[in-house]
Structure 1
Amino acid sequence: MKRIRMAVPALLAAAVVAAPAAPAAADSPAAPGWSSSMTIQVGGVWIGELPAGMGVAQPFESEGDDGEQISTTVWESQTPEGYRVDASITVVRAPWLQEPQPAFEWLRDWQERPVEEADYRRITLADGRPAWLSADQVVWLVEPGVVASVRLAPDRFDVGLLPRIAASA
């Protein structure tokens, strides 16, 4: 059961690529008008510095096997072949996610990304917090009990923005 719940956000993101676009939730701002000065809220965390041109936002809420509160918003846009995922933000709240390194390791293991897709290196954000950066993702402890992840499609967006996005939260 744990593997099924752990795979839900990944499966949702994959389904978004293949499924027709659903309208954005009424309380979600229209993504195409956003610029790097705009912020959005996912799982109670305000995140800014997002790139302009992301597609339609689709929020998902779930609960992990151990009571983790998981909020994910996935942005998709239409292509000639169907739909593609432009970006995703995941925020996980759990009382045991108190320290940066264990919180990163928990999220890394939970998402089960192949190593070749997510080879992380530790960085320091502009505000001094540690984070872990891969070719398309940044993971960091927003505050004790709250770990976040942002992924950008590297062929569409400047992944060099990922540290700034994390520091904005």
Structure 2
Amino acid sequence: MRSLFSLFFLAFLGIAALPTPASADPITVDGYAITYLPQQISATPTAFAYDWGDVDFHSQVWESGNDQQGWQVDLSIAILRGPRLSSAANVNSFWREYTKGDDQPWRPIPIRVHGKPGFRSGDRIVWLDQPGIAPTVNLDLTRFGAGELLPTARGLRQLPD
């Protein structure tokens, strides 16, 4: 009874929060666990796999909307694999080529994720996790806010072999 009261009291104060879907049962993508999601993500993701420019993409994509009014991407988390992703400079060069012609031009600002070199531009973060592997996170900032982008990227953890 005491712990139930404590939980209620903490929730009332806003200190305790319900776990996000990622914290309850992590979703995985190509050998990585997604351990953090913005609180408002509610849909189950859809997995996609494709290749572009000799780089393989494996992703989980969260969308909202409906067939009548249309769908929009809320969050996309992808693992990119390919030999051309051998350095941070090569990841940046690849991403510049990949996003050429997008609505949001690629204007990278250097950042670090888990101590690894990467870049942030607008609503996207991409980093070199190890030579040949570059995770990327793309978040709808109008819906979730810029403060959720880096925690979502930091919540991506490589699974042990």
Task: Tell me the TM-score normalised to structure 1 length.
Answer: 0.66
1:69 maps to 56
Number of residue pairs matched by the alignment: 135
Q: In the TM superposition, what is the alpha-carbon distance from 1:61 to its structure 2 partner?
A: 1.0
**Match of 2:29?**
42
Distance 1:81 1:64 in 2: 30
What SS is found at the alignment partner of 2:144? Answer: coil
Pairing partner for 2:71 from 77, 83, 91: 83
Partners of 1:113 and 1:35 lie apart in 2 by 34
1:109-161 C-alpha deviation (Å, 9 max, x unpaired)? 12335374442211233x32222112211111122211121111111113223
Distance 1:41 1:108 in 2: 26
Aligned twin of 2:84: 96
Q: What is the SS of the residue equivalent to 1:133?
A: strand
Residue pair 2:80, 2:135 contacting (<8 A) in 1 also: yes
RMSD over aligned CA atoms reads 2.5
Name the structure 2 match of 1:16: none
Q: Percent identity?
A: 29
Distance in structure 2 (CA, Å) of the matches to 1:117 and 1:124:
21
Gaps of 5+ in 1: 1-32
Asked whether the equivalents of residues 35 and 51 of structure 1 are also in contact (C-alpha less than 8 Å), the reply is no
Residues 136 and 98 (structure 1), Cα distance of their counterparts in 2 relative to 1, 3 Å cut: same
Shift of 1:92: 1.1
Cα distance in 1 between the residues matched to 2:96 and 2:60 = 18
Q: Which of the two has higher C-alpha Rg?
A: 2
Judge conservation of contact 2:22–2:34 (CA < 8 Å) in 1: no
Q: 1:123/1:43 Cα in 2 relative to 1: closer, same or farther (>3 Å)?
A: same
